[in-house]
Chains A and B, each alone.
Chain A
């Protein structure tokens, strides 16, 4: 299956830790990457290859995976972390790249 499933919405209190998950069979074979998108802006890559951060991404962002589930953790969430978060992986049968449906994160 090429589907990646994410919770549509989550919330976190300012300064607390939140884990956003992404589930799918493809994650047993491929690492997820994660993207942050703020309103009116293009997405940006925040985590790739399970737990690697591009230059400029704060170290409060981290990734992990187990079985068919990948996770993005934000430790000490800031107001500027309020955004939509998407995971992506690859469908092994078609080699096509797919996204999860996205998680809207609210920082309270």
Chain B
């Protein structure tokens, strides 16, 4: 059974870089079937896709965040990571790592981590 687990600081200073890691167990980030995504959700608000990465290293980022986001794969440790630079209070949210199936006609976020709360504050 595939499981995803986020880890990283729960508090980040404004203007600094938010860094999170997602460890994958029961499956491989090197799989050529899936993308690996980061999604966030501010308290009381909806879901926002930050971006995704494929085993080849191909990435796709939310245009509104693209200048600040880097998603990378660490195949040796079977994990993937998110870096979001120049954070502000607006980046405070629960961050989820998610396995993603993408085909020509549809996408599905099929396995989610439990989520980790990140607060941007001094």
- Please tell me if the beta carbons of A97 and B107 are within 8 angstroms of each other in the complex: yes
Query: Could you tell me the distance in whole angstroms from the C-beta of B36 to the nearest C-beta in chain A?
Result: 12
Q: Interface size bucket, B side?
A: 20 to 34
Tell which of B46, B62, B63, B108 has the most Cβ of chain A within 10 Å. Answer: B108
In the assembled complex, B74 has its CB within 8 A of some CB on chain A: no
Given the complex of chains A and B, what is the CA–CA distance between A102 and B47 in angstroms?
Answer: 8
Query: Could you tell me the distance in whole angstroms from the C-beta of B22 to the nearest C-beta in chain A?
Result: 13
Q: Mark A28-40, 1 if CB is under 8 A from B, else 0.
A: 0011110101000
- Please tell me if the beta carbons of B49 and A49 are within 8 angstroms of each other in the complex: no
In the assembled complex, A101 has its CB within 8 A of some CB on chain B: yes
Chain A: CB-nearest residue to B63? A94
Q: Mark B89-122, 1 if CB is under 8 A from A, else 0.
A: 0000000100011010111111011110000000
Given the complex of chains A and B, what is the CA–CA distance between A32 and B109 in angstroms?
Answer: 11
Given the complex of chains A and B, what is the CA–CA distance between A35 and B47 in angstroms?
Answer: 10
Given the complex of chains A and B, what is the CA–CA distance between A45 and B108 in angstroms?
Answer: 7
- Please tell me if the beta carbons of A48 and B108 are within 8 angstroms of each other in the complex: yes
Chain B: CB-nearest residue to A84? B46
Query: Could you tell me the distance in whole angstroms from the C-beta of A59 to the nearest C-beta in chain B?
Result: 18
Query: Could you tell me the distance in whole angstroms from the C-beta of A50 to the nearest C-beta in chain B?
Result: 7
Chain A: CB-nearest residue to B47? A99
Q: List 9 A-B contacts (CB under 8 A).
A: A42-B113, A43-B112, A89-B107, A96-B51, A96-B62, A97-B52, A97-B60, A98-B49, A99-B46
Chain B interface residues toward A at CB < 8 A:
37, 46-49, 51-52, 60-63, 96, 100-101, 103, 105-110, 112-115
Chain A interface residues toward B at CB < 8 A:
30-33, 35, 37, 42-45, 48-50, 54, 86, 88-90, 94-102
Chain A to chain B: the 5 pairs with minimum beta-carbon distance, closest first? A48-B108, A31-B106, A42-B112, A49-B106, A99-B47
